[in-house]
A and B are shown apart, each in its own frame.
Chain A
Amino acid sequence: GIQVEQSPPDLILQEGANSTLRCNFSDSVNNLQWFHQNPWGQLINLFYIPSGTKQNGRLSATTVATERYSLLYISSSQTTDSGVYFCAVAGFNTDKLIFGTGTRLQVFP
């Protein structure tokens, strides 16, 4: 099956800093989503982005499908950005999402 790798595994930032999270996947995909799991365990949809670039406020994401990676950019970090960020993909002819192991982000004031 498709392998999904995320980096870095851990990230510690001071409020106001910018960061880039990376997701590499081992095969062509038909679906790619980014999620934020907050400290209370809730999973929040950030982007549905099998290709191209999207922006939502301080967050943006880019997927280069031909090179099998996606990037999540967080600008001007806030403490409420803390949590774990997951990338998940689904290959062609399947709908099940395969999740990466996540990037744990801690933002300090």
Chain B
Amino acid sequence: NAGVMQNPRHLVRRRGQEARLRCSPMKGHSHVYWYRQLPEEGLKFMVYLQKENIIDESGMPKERFSAEFPKEGPSILRIQQVVRGDSAAYFCASSPPAERYEQYFGPGTRLTVT
């Protein structure tokens, strides 16, 4: 059973470009979470999604950031008009279709904005 997959693993964008980060949950998992880790800091929750629904986006910046988890395909975290402060590691986690279960984390995408 493959784990949570994220791609790309490393992404370099220039200021003003768009970044798209993809997350494929573990097989059978229908809950997806995105977390961000700024340099030398812990992880901070961004958004929690189920298929076609955003459940909790209380950690998402108000502007430029969006997330989706379509009926088919991976979850996408989109950052528009990136700035240097968006440079961070973005981790995706998934859990089974029941609440309050263990979250399994992917390897992360390291975004560098030049």
User: Residues of A with Cβ closer than 8 Å to B?
Assistant: 30-31, 33, 35, 41-43, 45, 48, 86, 88, 90, 94-102
Contact = CB atoms under 8 A, between A and B. Distances in A.
B8 interface: no
A96 to B, nearest CB: 4
Given A43-B108, A95-B55, A95-B99, 18 more contacts: A31-B101, A31-B102, A33-B103, A35-B105, A41-B108, A43-B43, A43-B91, A43-B105, A48-B101, A86-B43, A94-B56, A95-B31, A95-B33, A96-B33, A96-B48, A96-B56, A97-B35, A97-B93
B100 interface: yes
B59 interface: yes
Interface in B57-114: 58-59, 89, 91, 93, 95, 99-105, 107-108, 110
Contacts of B55: 95
A31 B100 contact: yes
A83 to B, nearest CB: 13
Contacts of A30: 100
A31 B31 CA distance: 15
B59 A96 contact: yes
Contacts of B95: 95
Contact of A86 (B42, B58, B110): B42
